Amino acid sequence: MKKTILLTALVLNGLTSFAQTNDEKNIKLFYKKALTESKCYTWLEYLSNDIGARLSGSKGAEQAVEYTKRQLESLGLDKVYLQEVMVPHWVRGEKETAYILDGKVKTNVPICALGGSVATPKTGLTAEIIEVQGIKELAELGADKVKGKIVFYNRPMNPENIETFTSYGACVDQRYAGAKEAAKLGAVGTIVRSMNLRLDDFPHTGAQSYGDLPKSQYIPTAAISTNGAELLSKSLKANPALKFYFKQSCETLPDALSYNVIGELTGSVTPENIMVVGGHLDSWDLADGSHDDGAGVVQSMEVIRILKNLNYKPKNTIRVVLFMNEENGGKGGAKYEEVSKQNKENHIFALESDSGGFSPRGFSIEADDANLKKIQGYKDLFEPYLVHSFTIGHAGSDINHLTSPAIVKAGLKPDSQRYFDYHHAANDTFDAINKRELELGAATMTTLMYLLDQNGIETKKAN
């Protein structure tokens, strides 16, 4: 008799262990909706192919605001509105030209002006060029060796890192602050190796800053493709006295009025607690910005579409925010936080997608130990979808501005191996997007948003 009871108990326990929980059923439904009914790929096709580049202050940025607002309104959300923000307005002008001048031999190389750069003289700039591996090496050379020359920053991204964002972070300072530091030593211009792990002919733009230098000391700065950088470095070794020519006509116009685009589902239990999901609506001007960050925009929209479509009633207010001006100023994120403080809003969670539309691998998390462990406790729910990485790390530039007490932040972490092939370059176009990978990312984001809405975040108890 005892054996029969024990056997029955074991069988029942076994059946229970294989039964799906409500969370598992809902998550499966999120992925089904994303993979069979998603609108994010269609939305992205329009943003990329019908609108195109969306740099702050441009016509494309204006059209993107209008389009995404209409799409959010069509979802039947509780609120959809625009939030005014003044943004920088930098324009590239005519296509840049450059060549290596070795005696009388001219060898063309691909370059593009870095965001915020000043123009060269109208006839271009020609000077001797000196190669360095970074800002530290430049400082060691001193003004005597730098004055009157073009500085060539040629530190490559380290291919040994599996996480390519680690490699990017280790050398992007030469792009952002390279011109400022070279100008201090009397350089007349700078050329920076593109932030790209592969060898190709696409120069990659990106933000740069002159810091607190007076405008009279601003010097033109441009990125050179990785193939171009290799050729230039090889040529300099053969002839250190060769010269470099480049011409660009970019300029900074007065700040322009733009908008963050916001839509929300009002919470049914604690509507005063806000959970944000978002990406940045602006992109660089060389291409469509499909990976950076059209993918994050449409994935964030898809999160709220899935929840609305399933008639999900969130406990907390869920807000999708499409930030303007992440690329060259961060004004959208800063404005959102400014208004949030004025309205005394309490954000408990923020999720950002700004690492491309590749297959999701997990999340990069900014949280205390208790909330990190909580999110890591969901690993078994994500495992069937091949999502496994839940680590401490930077969540996102736009949500970085948010300072609500006890807020938890996370960034979608797609596979990063191909991201820098496209980042800020002319090949960041819609044809580089895989529909299924894009949709998997949206489903993964929906899952984390749902789990934290259902279970809340851990808050420290008052003493």
* Catalytic annotation, residues: 326
The SS3 of residue 456 is coil
The two tokens of residue 275 are: 């959970």
Whether 433 contacts 289, CB under 8 Å: no
3-state secondary structure of 270: strand
Structure tokens at 182: 């070279």
What pairs with residue 191 in β-bridges?
152, 222
Per the CB < 8 A criterion, the answer to whether 332 and 352 are in contact is: no
291 Cβ contact list (under 8 Å, min separation 6): 356, 357, 358, 419, 422, 423, 428, 432, 433
79-91: strand order across its sheet: 79-91, 251-265, 316-323, 270-280, 346-352, 408-414, 360-366, 389-392
Q: Which of 352, 450, 335 is nearest to 395 (CA)?
A: 352
Q: Where are the alpha helices (DSSP H) in 192-245?
A: 226-238
| CA angle, residues 112, 90, 253, in degrees to nearest 5 | 140
On whether the CB atoms of residues 98 and 246 are closer than 8 A, the answer is yes
AA identity, residue 305: R
Alpha-carbon gap, residue 275 to 300, rounded angstroms: 12
CB atoms within 10 A of CB 156: 17
Beta strand 243-247 pairing with 125-132: antiparallel
Alpha-carbon distance 30 to 351, whole Å? 17
How many residues can be counted in the chain?
463
Q: How far is CA 444 from CA 32, 349, 437, 458, in A?
A: 11, 16, 11, 21
Please provide residue 293's backbone torsions phi and psi, each rounded to the nearest 5 degrees: -130, 40
CB 366 within 8 A of CB 439: no
